[in-house]
Chain A
């Protein structure tokens, strides 16, 4: 690829990304009443999206081979458990990440 073609490819990728982020705002502009169905989705989708993101992060975990996903399971339990206990996001993220790193580097 020439430098110009590289720049064009990156520009196209940027345009596609911006479109995925901006499309709802273009389709449902602030001045007009947003359809009730879309308002409903706006209320229920965030919970679903966070669930999707958790699964997305863990998508490569193989429960049948290697460590059987045990380090990940432990990390998730520690993150969730300490959050229920202390309600401190940073603390839970730091503790579970350090624990996870210790396990995978020791293994």
Chain B
């Protein structure tokens, strides 16, 4: 693999920054919260930054922090974290094609695929003339750096910062709302979006906020599998209309 010219890297980094600005706000504050939370459990200062570097999955890190003050149980940790993060399986299936032929960057792109990074990398096209692989690489890297900064700040300054700015994390909700809408407008077949909303709301009502994700994923898979024949026909028809965009 030849090294790309530095100019090309700088251009990709510059192009990747704007779409990550909402994450900058959200991750710094959420990270500070995560750091403060770990401190409040009595954990050493290096725990939140280390988790941010090698786990990089917000909700799982809160749970792992609470496990670090409980008796050592690696099997339970593994199963719990796998279940919390099981939704990432869907991200990988969605990215199978897009992460092809990206060389060594691919490993980091897969490692860094948290909710927000996946969403931006899936929904945003690299600007014209910008290398797609490096664009996605820098989106992932920036997002992780924000998260590491937030977690470190929270861990070190802790209660000194006393940042309790209510509502900043709504930026994450707004991000997903806008991306959902954007995807809806781009797609001519809305079976996935409909299944996602209906299955998630249904599972949330039945199973409550702490245990609805796995049932929601199962319902989504069942619905989309049962509807495969008509949905594939609709997809083929829309591909036909759009030209060779298969």
Contacts and interface: CB of A to CB of B under 8 A. Distances in A.
User: Do A and B interact with each other, yes or no?
Assistant: yes
B85 A20 contact: yes
B145 interface: no
A89 B184 contact: no
B200 A52 contact: yes
The main secondary structure of chain B at its interface with chain A is helix
Q: How large is the interface on A (under 10, 10 to 19, 20 to 34, 35 or more residues)?
A: 35 or more
A49 B64 contact: no
B174 A96 contact: yes
Interface centre among A5, A50, A83 (most CB of B within 10 A): A50
Contact of B85 (A16, A40, A45): A16
Contacts of B196: 47-52, 55
A97 B111 CA distance: 29
A5 B122 CA distance: 37
B10 interface: no
A66 B166 CA distance: 15
Interface residues of B, number: 99
B74 A6 contact: no
Nearest to A71: B167
A42 B97 contact: yes
B204 A57 contact: no
A37 to B, nearest CB: 8
A97 B96 contact: no
Interface in B60-101: 60-61, 64, 67-72, 74, 77-79, 81-82, 85-97, 99-101
Given A8-B74, A16-B85, A104 B166 contact: yes
Nearest 4 CB-CB pairings of A with B: A51-B196, A47-B192, A48-B196, A24-B92
Interface of B: 18-19, 21-22, 25, 43-44, 47, 50-51, 54-57, 60-61, 64, 67-72, 74, 77-79, 81-82, 85-97, 99-101, 106, 110-111, 113, 115, 118-119, 122, 165-168, 170-184, 187, 189-197, 199-201, 204, 209, 212-213, 216-217, 220-221, 224-225, 228, 231-232, 235
